[in-house]
């Protein structure tokens, strides 16, 4: 039950992180070459955080899947 409640929250967090990634990519495209390295570093940090959220959603799906099958 906890996983079913937590999954939409994690999806919402992932959506926010993806929007932040889009903002950083747009900043990199529009910035000067000297500033791009700072924005690229922020992009790497955001990607590593997003990877953690995706791993969490994979764990939640693996918990929900068998539970839903047993319920049906």
**Cβ atoms of residues 57 and 10 within 8 Å:** yes
Range of the domain at 24: 2-71
Which two three-digit tokens encode residue 29? 């495209």
Strand ranges (DSSP E) for 1-72? none
Return per-residue pLDDT of the chain as tens, 72 residues: 666 777 787 778 778 878 887 887 777 777 777 777 777 777 777 777 777 777 777 777 777 766 655 555
Predicted confidence at residue 68, as pLDDT, reads 58
Whole-structure pTM value: 0.55
Residue 32: left (phi > 0), alpha (psi -120 to 50), or beta? beta
Cα separations in angstroms, 22 against 48, 53, 60: 15, 17, 25
Predicted confidence at residue 27, as pLDDT, reads 77
Number of structural domains the chain divides into: 1
């Amino acid at each position: 039950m906890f996983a079913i409640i937590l999954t939409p929250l994690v999806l919402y967090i992932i959506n926010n992180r993806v929007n932040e990634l889009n903002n950083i990519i747009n900043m990199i495209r529009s910035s000067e070459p000297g500033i791009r390295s700072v924005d690229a570093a922020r992009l790497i940090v955001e990607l590593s955080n997003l990877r953690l959220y995706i791993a969490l959603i994979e764990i939640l799906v693996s918990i929900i899947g068998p539970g839903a099958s047993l319920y049906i």
